[in-house]
């Protein structure tokens, strides 16, 4: 298991380097620049700003300087928010985004897995039909529709929950955003768990266990549940990617001071360092989430540890 984990960890660095390299050059292909928007600047003033920030140098030189600064933990200044550094902006917003993503993932797993298990055990029943309708509805509605609907019902009509803002000591502020982000993920996990468990329950070794007189609960908990969880665990990697991209919309809808707005604002303002910082953060979080899913998959299915990467 340790060797498999080390091989997976070693693969993160080159993938992250490729992601940063592609992002560095692609964002500079877009028209405009960090000093093209806002108030008008003379050509001389713009040239001076580009000289100060090193943007007048060849792209290869800029790339080398960026990697050197990154190796020392320096993400650079923000071009659009000149009183802040990229590291400072990320440090201020990342706890909110990470808390929202973790809460949504936990909520989706804790609701999706039991719902999928119950639907598989009662195939064709009322709960199974409810799961099909629930999954179709939640997967069809985007988060920018689901979020305002939940805010309208539970925030404005029933007045049970706040609809916007964030207070670190008030967990109620995260309930609606976390539910909005978790709903489609929960539906996908439930459908995947149902299909996987049905397949496992039809396996020959499950029939053998039943023929030996083992009870239904013991067959489920000791023989069927662990292999049935393997596809669900494998899905957690793509699910983490969805949480990263989905949080951009949810944070905007509920006005949360997370990092999602920085990626959007940085792309609009051509704030190269801010966009690169967000790409680094989101890329690292996505790769670490995939790593955790792979390690959990290897623990559930030991055969994975001996497969070539």
- The secondary element (H helix, E strand) that includes residue 253 is helix 225-253
Q: How far, in Å, CA of 75 to CA of 307, rounded?
A: 37
Q: How many CA atoms lie within 13 A of 160 on its CB side?
A: 9
CATH of the domain at 253: 1.10.3720.10
3 state SS for 61-127: HHHHHHHHHHHCCCCCECCCCCCCEHHHHHHHHHHHHHHHHHHHHHHHHHHHHHHHHHHHHCCCCHH
- pLDDT tens digits along 281-298: 888 888 888 888 777 777
Q: Considering the entire predicted model, what is its pTM? A: 0.80
Average pLDDT of the chain is 82
Say if CB 306 and CB 294 are below 8 A apart: no
- pLDDT tens digits along 59-69: 889 899 989 99
> Looking at the domain assignment, is residue 255 inside a domain?
yes
Structure tokens at 167: 């207070």
> Looking at the domain assignment, is residue 14 inside a domain?
no
Q: How far, in Å, CA of 268 to CA of 245, rounded?
A: 17
pLDDT class of 258 with cuts at 50, 70, 90: confident
Residue 162: count of CB within 10 angstroms of its CB: 18
> Looking at the domain assignment, is residue 9 inside a domain?
no
Long-range contacts, 59-67 (Cβ 8 Å, 24+):
59/25, 59/28, 63/21, 63/24, 63/25, 66/24, 66/276
> Looking at the domain assignment, is residue 176 inside a domain?
yes
* 3-class DSSP assignment, residue 307: coil
CB crowding 280-309: b at 16 or more within 10 Å, else e: bbbbebbbebbbebbbbbbebbeeebeeee
- pLDDT tens digits along 235-250: 887 787 778 777 788 8
- For the chain, give the number of residues: 309
For 160, the domain range is 96-267+285-306
Residue 102: count of CB within 10 angstroms of its CB: 13
> Looking at the domain assignment, is residue 22 inside a domain?
no
Angle at 136 between CA 133 and CA 138, to 5 degrees: 105
Q: Which residues pair with 77 in a beta bridge?
A: 85
> Looking at the domain assignment, is residue 74 inside a domain?
no
- Higher local confidence (pLDDT), 38 or 43: 43
- pLDDT tens digits along 133-161: 888 888 888 888 888 899 899 988 988 88
> Looking at the domain assignment, is residue 152 inside a domain?
yes
> Looking at the domain assignment, is residue 228 inside a domain?
yes
Instruction: State how many domains the chain has.
Output: 1
């Amino acid at each position: 298991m340790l060797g498999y984990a080390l091989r997976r960890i070693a693969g993160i660095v080159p993938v992250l380097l490729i992601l940063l390299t592609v992002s560095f050059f692609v964002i500079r292909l877009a028209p405009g620049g960090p000093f093209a928007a806002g108030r008008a600047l003379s050509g001389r003033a713009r040239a001076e700003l580009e000289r100060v920030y090193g943007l007048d140098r060849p792209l290869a030189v800029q790339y080398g300087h960026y990697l050197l600064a990154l190796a020392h933990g320096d993400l650079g200044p923000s071009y659009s928010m000149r009183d802040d550094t990229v590291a400072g902006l990320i440090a201020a917003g990342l706890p909110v985004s990470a808390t929202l993503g973790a809460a949504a993932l936990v909520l989706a797993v804790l609701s999706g897995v039991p719902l999928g298990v119950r639907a598989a055990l009662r195939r064709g029943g009322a709960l199974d039909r409810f799961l099909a309708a629930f999954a179709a509805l939640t997967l069809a509605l985007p988060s920018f529709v689901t979020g305002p609907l939940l805010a309208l019902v539970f925030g404005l009509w029933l007045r049970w929950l706040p609809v916007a803002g964030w207070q670190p000591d008030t967990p109620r502020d995260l309930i609606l955003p976390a539910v909005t982000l978790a709903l489609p993920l929960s539906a996908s996990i439930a459908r995947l768990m149902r299909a996987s468990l049905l397949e496992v329950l039809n396996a020959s070794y499950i029939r053998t266990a039943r023929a030996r007189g083992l009870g239904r609960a013991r067959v489920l908990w000791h023989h069927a549940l662990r292999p049935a969880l393997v596809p669900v665990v494998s899905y957690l990697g793509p699910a983490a990617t969805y949480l990263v991209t989905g949080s951009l919309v949810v944070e905007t809808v509920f006005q949360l001071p997370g990092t999602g707005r920085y990626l959007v604002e940085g792309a609009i303002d051509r704030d190269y360092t801010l966009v690169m910082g967000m790409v680094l953060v989101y890329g690292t979080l996505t790769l670490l989430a995939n790593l955790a899913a792979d390690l959990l998959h290897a623990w559930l299915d030991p055969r994975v540890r001996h497969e070539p990467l």
